[in-house]
Structure 1
Amino acid sequence: MNSTLFNGYSGIKTHQFGLDSVSNNIANINTTGYRANNPEFKSLFSNALNSVNPNSPVSSDMNYGSTVASNSISNNDGNYKESDEEFSIAYAGKGWFVVGDNENNSFNATDVSNGLYFTRDGSFSRDAQGYVVNSAGYYMLGVDLGKIKDGVFISDTSNDEANLATGEIKPIQIPQNLHYGPTQSTNVNLALNLNSNQGEINTYKLFLDSNGKINEEKLLNQDINSLIIDNENINASAYNNAVIKITKNNETKEYNFNYGDFRTIGELKQLIKEQSGLDLDFARDINGDINKNLILELKSPALDELEVSLEGKLFDKLGLKGDKKLFNLNIQNFNTSKNYNVNDLVKLNGAVFKRVESAGNSSPLDDSNFWQMVDSSSVREWNEDGNYNINDLVKFDNKIYQKLSEVNSAPTSADWKLIDDNKTLEITQFNSSENYPKNSFVYFNNRIYQKISDETSISPDDTLNWKIVDGEKFLSDKINIANYKTTIDVFDDKGDKMVIISEFVLNNNSPTNQIWNVKSGIYDKNGENLIGDLVEHTISFDGNGKVNAEPVELKYGDKSIQYNIAGSNSKSSSNFSYIDSSLLDSSKDGTQKGELVNVGIDNNGVINLSFSNGITEKMGRVGIVAFVNDKGLQKIGGNLFEMASISVDGEDTTPASGKPILGWDESGNLRFGQVLYKYLETSNVNPADAMTDLIVFQRGYSMNAKAFTTGDDLIKEAINLKR
């Protein structure tokens, strides 16, 4: 056999191998995760021809044939296409998914058990037991955080970071009927912003007691500076003065009230009453209850006419301003020729008298047995420079005196007669259980009524027996008080939802110590029925905005929740006026039961489970390994590779690929690539290169076949020479 024949034969055989390899690549051009083979060739052997020209500087050799050098796998990434399957994943970069042939497989960087394989095919799904497997039933290996026990997911995030960086991987199991185990709420921490210019809830509702009646004492104890008019805090510290001017009997008196001398609504009410005699109160409804609109009214309880003027920045802010005549009952002056019945009223020298006992026409000043003074608000104060006539009445040292002689002297002398103590007719709220005599005065439906008959009457609605006698009054704008309401879900030991509702009401808006009163309680899941104790507590802010609020214990049944409104684990509560009142952050424990609704895998390969209770938590990660020499892995079919061993110098075998390397570092982050969820990697066969190689190998095959036939012809010709 000549060399030409041998070379042609080896060339045919070598190019046939190339054709087989390329055609296999083309056959798997749509195989998910397929790694193409790259056939490589080498010369078979050669012989140096030193006898041809031993002294030549150019070597002369003779090569004999070719053979296959290798059929290495390609390390190039394929393309990535989207997939809707639950566990479709792809890996971009250097690395492999790890699969095992049974559920007991495990793997770490130093110990590789039998039955472990490596693949780039991420077409995984869950089997009937919840194991993540490929289409051939091989189990996907990864890190399991051990949170799933007997079909229940137990929340524990304390060691997630460290456990996700472990080198131990095993089959991943996520049961189909997995549910999130409920845990009881024991601690709730809130961070919120409280804006003193905002009122979220109708203020009236914030002061209702357990009987549905407004707690008047609490309302009157509100700091004036906590009030809001037209969504703006009145800022009583700056707009701090209120002035009342009262003109009576051509005499004008001025009363000044300054915020600081009083702080609460009740204190202002008391000061106005003591100094001016006027009544400051909240407008009331037909039953005498404070009107839900919360409007302040300033009125006179006296029976004579008063000209009142209101001034000052504080009154302006409240909407109490202007000039009014507050009251004029128009009681007839005493007439000596008229006969008066019991309960009739008369006016004499500025005082109002009521007939008692029996009818008659005696003078109120001479007959104290049948007349009773009921109001002396219009009687003039005594003045030592004044000129008084006989029977004139004066007010001196809070008593009423009658002038008896022409001598000018102080009311304490014998020239004066003591009539009675100074009196102001007190008008009370109508009480349906009380029987009112004629000329009684009551507040009813926010107005003053006078009884005009002796007949029994149910209420002032009876216009035959009652009449309206009040004049004008000053009414404020609608008042609100800065408030806010929070609702946050918590859970009992069975995972049933409850809610903690807190109502915040601004009580003191001092720039150096802003105080909010808080009522907190645990309610049913609809927030309607209180199922625990209602706790009253406070939250305050100093001049620098530093918060102070002690944690409180909210009880329900034999259980309790520690509740803190000073801040969450990451934020503190604040009182910024440029931010709406809002819940900024919360830190709490406790969860309700939830069913598994979704599985997700992030770019770092971490598997997250989402449940119907709104909680998403890590359960493990996809196992990724890399090799120093990927080409040293051996194909076994089914898109799987295994580690092949080689012997070095007759010594112990070692993996041709090198030992496996974990795909993540000590912090748990992937270091050679990233996982793509809902994607699959296509074959990395390049169609253009494959077709080119196919043509090249075909031409090589043809040319070697020609060389073979040429060699055969030469042999035939040599044989014919002998003939």
Structure 2
Amino acid sequence: MSTLTGAMYTGIAGLSTHSKGISVVGNNLANSSTVGYKSTSIQFEDMFYSSLHTANGPDQIGHGSSVSTLYSDFSAGSYEDTASPTDVACTGKGFFVVTDPTTGRNYYTRAGHFSFNEDGYLINAQGYRVQGWEADPAHKGNGVSTKGALGDIRFDDLQSPPEATSFMTLLVNLDKDSEERSANPTDPFFSLQQEWDGTADPPMGENSYTYQSSMVVYDEAGGSHEVTIYFDPVQDDSVVSDAGGGQVWEYIITCDPSEDGRTIDGQELSSTSSAGLLMTGTLTFDSSSQLTGMTAFTLNGAATGDLHDLTNWTPADIGDDGNPMFTANFSGSDNASYTGDAEALNIGIDFGIHDNTPSATGWDSAVADASLIGSDIANLFNFEEPVISSNATTAYGRSSSTLSRSQDGYPPGFLEDVEIDDNGVITGIFSNDQSMELYVLGLADFANYQGLINEGGNLYSASGDSGLPITGVAGTNQFGSVASNKLELSNVDYSGEMVDLIRYQRGYQSNSKVITTVDTLLQEAINLKR
């Protein structure tokens, strides 16, 4: 009788373990569509044994089964494309780190369905804050660089600061068949400079130039200003003859006279006829209409008397990039000199020709000022080692037009969108077409994944068995990479789960049969009384 009673309890143990197995399968199937869910498998083990005396000597008889362990499968699931850049998936080892803002406790998850809340925090579905590091812009381009400690990722009223213009590129075609429109043809060079009058409105008459092109530049505060370049061909007979079938064009670079804040020895240029006149010079083309040389003059900071006097215009400084520079001051300063004004902008200009090895002067002639050019083309100097770009300014026989223009300044901007790269670097895209690396997503790894505690909500917490978290950047060391606009789906295997469900069902039925069989045998034993 005791053996039969024990067999019944053995069946009960089998029912219990198989019902737990069915529960595990049911949970897997219930989470088959849960983002980042990791399937669980159950493992059984036999229970203790009792000694039994048999004809062959001592032996043992078992008393059923029990649950040995639950094993989580941390292999990656498939990936789903999404429309949100803040949906991220880890394509290798690692967990995203989130923090409960109430308790400060860290959790770890593979579910990267993140979004920004009304306070600018990057959060998960539970409102826990995603953790990362601030990006270090000082090391941009030298791999992923972070600063500070792991903390909340927060975008709060982020702005892109303005950048003052320091370089301009203008590539044009100047119609070689154009007629000189300058009203001062007797002086072949710098006629445009002579005709500019910053006190007049407009400062340059329409009959004084052949072509003009304008672009917007920015000051140090992000304010926009229009810079206009005027062109006119030099058609003096002696110049045309000396050019050997080529051409010489003169140009001036100007700004709105009312925005010219330069001063010379206390004199404000905005009140003079040279207000807004930033640079003057020439462009030389050969018989095939290709650019071969240029000159550039700017107003001497020690100029005196008539500022239109060519002796006050000296060869422009050459920048480190080999391009001539002019100085503008759109902010102005009552006590600043022309050359020492902290708010002055030095802007390089590129027409498609520059000096290959800029020296102290960068020019191949020691011409002191524009007055020494005279009327002879032979007096025009050039760069010491001129380099002509493949897409330089030209003088073909077709309508004058602007081929390309650009400058490197920009106004302040406001955050409009974000991008996340393979290393988890979160880059802000701003309204001024600039981008800025702002944060780097943090990942955590553990020595023993099976030691993690499943907290529900796609969250895990560390335990003594899992070991302390090792944090790092995606794509480095043991960590996988990050994929934006993607979510990692559940790794539940439907077919495998259905097979397990059948096994556990049959196991449950079999153990229930043990109980009913024992019941029948006990009934037979009771019936012996009759």
Partner of 1:432: none
Instruction: Tell me how far apart the structure 2 counterparts of residues 658 and 535 of structure 1 sit (CA, whole Å).
Output: 68
Q: Deviations over 1:612-648 (max 9, x none)?
A: 1111211112222222322221111111111122xxx
Query: How far apart in 1 are the matches of 2:146 and 2:207?
Result: 66
Q: Counterpart of 1:682?
A: 489
Change (3 A) 1:490 1:585: closer
2:278: which partner in 1? 534
TM-score scaled by length of structure 2: 0.64
Look up the match of 1:490: 217
Give the direction of change, closer, same or farther, for the CA distance of 1:548–1:611 in structure 2 (3 Å limit): closer
Which residue of 116, 124, 140 corresponds with 1:134? 124
Distance 2:64 2:485 in 1: 50
Structure 2: which amino acid aligns with 1:613? N
Q: CA deviation at 1:49?
A: 7.2
Residue 691 of structure 1 pairs with residue 504 of structure 2: no
Q: Cα distance 1:14–1:493, how it changes in 2: closer, same or farther (>3 A)?
A: same
Aligned counterparts, 1:56-455, within 5 A: 62-85=61-84, 87-102=86-101, 105=104, 115-145=105-135, 157-160=137-140, 164-165=145-146, 168-175=149-156, 178-183=157-162, 185=164, 188-190=166-168, 198-199=173-174, 208=182, 213-218=183-188
Separation (CA, whole Å) in 2 of partners of 1:706 and 1:220 = 111
The amino acid of 2:449's aligned partner reads D
1:103 touches 1:171 (CA, 8 Å); kept in 2? Answer: no
2:171 and 2:391 in contact (8 A); partners too: no
Query: What is the CA-CA distance between 1:184 and the residue it aligns to?
Result: 5.1
Query: In 2 relative to 1, CA 694–523 (structure 1 residues): closer, same or farther, beyond 3 Å?
Result: farther
Tell whether the 8 Å contact from 2:85 to 2:420 is kept in structure 1 after alignment: no
1:61 & 1:539 partners in 2: Cα distance?
106
Structure 2 match to 1:15: 18
- Kept in 1, the 8 Å contact 2:278–2:327? The answer is no
Count of matched residue pairs: 415
Among candidates 39, 42, 51, match of residue 42 of structure 2: 39
What corresponds to 2:388 in structure 1? Answer: 575
Q: Residues 704 and 517 (structure 1 numbering): CA distance in 2 closer, same or farther, change over 3 Å? A: farther
What is the rounded CA distance, in whole Å, between the counterparts of 1:525 and 1:677 in structure 2?
49
The corresponding residue for 2:428 is 609
The residue that corresponds to 1:521 in the other structure is 254
Alpha-carbon distance in 2 for matches of 1:63, 1:602: 57
Greater alpha carbon shift after TM alignment, 501-510 vs 698-707: 501-510
The 1:220/1:172 distance shift into structure 2, 3 A limit, reads: closer
- Structure-2 residue corresponding to 1:560: 344
Q: Residues 168 and 521 of structure 1: is their aligned pair in 2 closer, same or farther, counting only changes over 3 Å? A: same
Query: Aligned partners of 2:447, 2:407: CA distance in 1, in Å?
Result: 46
**Is residue 539–residue 566 contact of structure 1 (8 Å, CA) maintained in 2?**
no
Amino acid at match of 2:388: N
Name the one with the larger helix percent. Answer: 2
Q: TM-score, normalised by structure 1?
A: 0.49
Name the CA distance, whole Å, in 1 between partners of 2:324 and 2:64. 92
Call closer, same or farther: CA 1:179–1:592 in 2, change over 3 Å.
Answer: farther
Letter in 1 for 2:99: G
SS of equivalent residue, structure 2 residue 16: helix
Superposed CA offset, 1:65-120 (max 9, x none)? 21111122221222222333463222222221111111895xxxxxxxxx100112
Are the aligned partners of 1:9 and 1:704 in contact in 2 as well (CA < 8 Å)? Answer: yes
Counterpart secondary structure, 1:520: strand
Is the CA contact (8 Å cut-off) linking 1:519 and 1:535 kept in structure 2?
A: yes
Q: Spell out, residue by residue over 1:34-93, the C-alpha distance to the aligned partner (whole angstroms, 9 max, x if none).
A: 222111212223468797657xxxx97544321111122221222222333463222222
Of the structure 1 ranges 711-720 and 624-633, higher mean CA displacement relative to structure 2 is found in 711-720
| 1:703 corresponding residue in structure 2 | 510
Separation in structure 1 between the aligned mates of residue 206 and residue 516 of structure 2, nearest angstrom = 119
Give unmatched runs, 5+ long, in structure 2: 192-204, 260-269, 285-290, 294-319, 334-342, 357-385, 395-401
Q: Which residue of 1 aligns with 2:459?
A: 640
1:505: how far off?
7.9
Whether the aligned pair in 2 keeps the contact of 1:81 and 1:680 (CA below 8 Å) is yes
Structure 1 residues 293 and 662: alpha-carbon distance in aligned structure 2, compared to 1, 3 A threshold: closer
Q: 1:706 and 1:214, CA in 2 relative to 1: closer, same or farther beyond 3 A? A: farther
Contact 1:193–1:576 (CA under 8 A) maintained in structure 2: no
For the aligned residues, what is the CA RMSD? 4.7
2:472 maps to 1:659: no
After superposition, the Cα gap between the structure-2 partners of 1:608 and 1:72, relative to the gap in structure 1 and judged at 3 Å, is same
1:631 is aligned to 2:485: no
Contact persistence 1:100–1:139 (CA under 8 A): yes
How big is each residue's C-alpha offset from its partner over 1:283-307, in whole Å with a ceiling of 9 and x where there is no partner?
A: xxxxxx999999xxxxxxxxxxxxx
| Amino acid aligned to 1:218 | P
CA contact (8 A) 2:252 2:277 kept: no
Partner AA of 1:131 in structure 2: Y
1:25 and 1:489 map into 2 onto residues whose CA distance is 61
Aligned AA (1:674): S
Deviations 1:580-637 (A, max 9, x none): 769899784x531222221222232111111211112111122222223222211111
1:184/1:711 CA distance change after superposition, 3 Å? same
One-letter amino acid matched to 1:122: G
Contact 1:89 1:677 (C-alpha < 8 Å) held by counterparts: yes
The 2-side partners of 1:516 and 1:604 are apart by 52
SS in 2 for 1:680: strand
> 1:539-587 CA distances to partner (integer Å, 9 max, x unpaired)?
89999xx99544332333343211224699xx97941457676989978
Distance (Å, rounded) in 1 between the aligned partners of 2:25 and 2:422: 34
> How high is the sequence identity, in percent, across the aligned residues?
29
Contact map agreement 2:190 2:280 (CA 8 A) in 1: no
Following the alignment from structure 1 to structure 2, what is the Cα–Cα distance between the partners of residues 184 and 4?
A: 84
Contact between 1:533 and 1:555, CA under 8 Å: does it hold in 2? no
Q: CA deviation at 1:15?
A: 0.5
Q: Which whole-Å deviations, capped at 9, do the CAs of 1:213-267 have from their partners, x for residues lacking one?
A: 355423699xxxxxxxxxxxxxxxxxxxxxxxxxxxxxxxxxxxxxxxxxxxxxx
Deviation string 1:152-204 (CA, Å, 9 cap, x unpaired) is xxxx83234577345832111113xx35254351x51356778xxx4269855
Cα displacement string for residues 492-536 of structure 1 (whole angstroms, at most 9, x for unaligned residues): 34422224445678999999xx9986533345999xx99744212
Distance 1:134 1:201 in 2: 65
Question: In structure 1, the residue corresponding to 2:447 is in which secondary structure?
Answer: coil
Select the structure of larger CA radius of gyration. 1
Per-residue Cα deviation, 1:468-494 (whole angstroms, up to 9, x for no partner):
xxxxxxxxxxxxxxx9x8755432344
Cα 1:166–1:493 shift into 2, 3 Å: closer
* 1:698/1:505 CA distance change after superposition, 3 Å: farther
CA deviation string 1:397-426 (max 9, x = no partner) = xxxxxxxxxxxxxxxxxxxxxxxxxxxxxx
What amino acid maps onto 1:199 in structure 2?
Answer: L
Please list, as runs of the form range in 1=range in 2, the aligned pairs for 1:461-480 lying within 5 A after superposition. Answer: none
Code of the aligned partner of 1:188: S
Alignment equivalent of 2:418, drawn from 599, 609, 618: 599
Partners of 1:201 and 1:183 lie apart in 2 by: 39
SS of residue in 1 equivalent to 2:187: helix
Question: Partners in 2 of 1:565 and 1:52 — Cα distance?
Answer: 107
**Deviation at residue 712 of structure 1 after TM alignment:** 3.2
